[in-house]
């Protein structure tokens, strides 16, 4: 028996149309939900924090290594095959340290500071950028006095984690500012010798570290 009620036929058609519309709406919503990344697990977040801490410590260790003329600390920052480009040098990082150590040893004192550390992680590889600021107290060209040499710039590093250890795999040093000023000390000439920092092993840092390790 045919249904000749126009109102009933319109309701039936509306019901049939609503089925594919609802199905299509669900199909469109599904990909959007699939694209939502799952929140990182606590283990993954802790691993990321640990990696960033280790990488930052290496950046600091490099600066401290030059100031204390600590060859062991400097070399421990790089893998043996790490590439290095800074200033006029392009080669291996270990070679850069070999060339620069005797040059820095002739300078009376240095101060290196690291700041603005940025680290981007991708598994066992990371890219970091940091700013450096260096001060060298050195002899003038004619040897008659001393002067202060300042250099600012950035390090862009590729870090890798090999056998569970993070180190620098390649480094690019970029300079941004250079300045030379005459010595302008007011009280250093009459200051006690032990009021100044020293190089390894004479600096008080190493005495303190030996004392700490002796308590373990």
pLDDT on residue 14: 45
Residues of the chain falling short of pLDDT 50: 1-2, 9, 12-30
pLDDT on residue 135: 98
pLDDT on residue 211: 93
pLDDT on residue 186: 85
Please tell me whether the overall predicted TM-score, pTM, comes out greater than 0.85 for this model: no
pLDDT on residue 40: 83
Give the tens place of pLDDT for each residue, 45-73: 999 999 999 999 999 999 999 999 999 99
Domains of the chain plus CATH, in order, are: 42-189 (3.10.450.50)
pLDDT on residue 90: 98
Burial class (CB in 10 A: 0-12, 13-18, 19+), 126: buried
pLDDT on residue 123: 95
């Amino acid at each position: 028996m045919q249904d000749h009620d126009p109102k009933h036929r319109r309701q039936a058609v509306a019901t049939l149309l609503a089925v594919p519309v609802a199905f299509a709406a669900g199909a469109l919503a599904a990909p959007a939900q699939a694209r939502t990344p799952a929140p990182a697990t606590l283990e993954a977040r802790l691993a990321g924090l640990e990696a960033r801490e280790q990488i930052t410590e290496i950046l600091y260790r490099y600066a401290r290594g030059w100031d204390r003329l600590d060859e062991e600390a400097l070399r421990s920052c790089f893998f043996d095959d790490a590439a290095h480009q800074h200033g006029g040098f392009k080669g291996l990082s270990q070679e850069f340290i070999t060339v620069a150590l005797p040059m820095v040893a002739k300078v009376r004192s240095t101060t290196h500071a690291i700041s603005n550390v940025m680290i981007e992680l991708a598994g066992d590889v990371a890219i970091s950028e940091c700013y450096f600021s260096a001060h060298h107290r050195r002899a003038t060209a004619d040897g008659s006095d001393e002067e202060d040499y300042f250099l600012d710039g950035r390090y862009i590093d590729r870090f890798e984690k090999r056998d569970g250890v993070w180190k620098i795999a390649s480094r690019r040093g970029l300079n941004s500012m250079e300045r030379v000023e005459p010595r302008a000390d007011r009280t250093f000439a009459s200051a006690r010798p032990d009021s100044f920092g020293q190089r390894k092993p004479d600096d008080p840092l190493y005495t303190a570290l030996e004392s700490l390790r002796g308590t373990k």
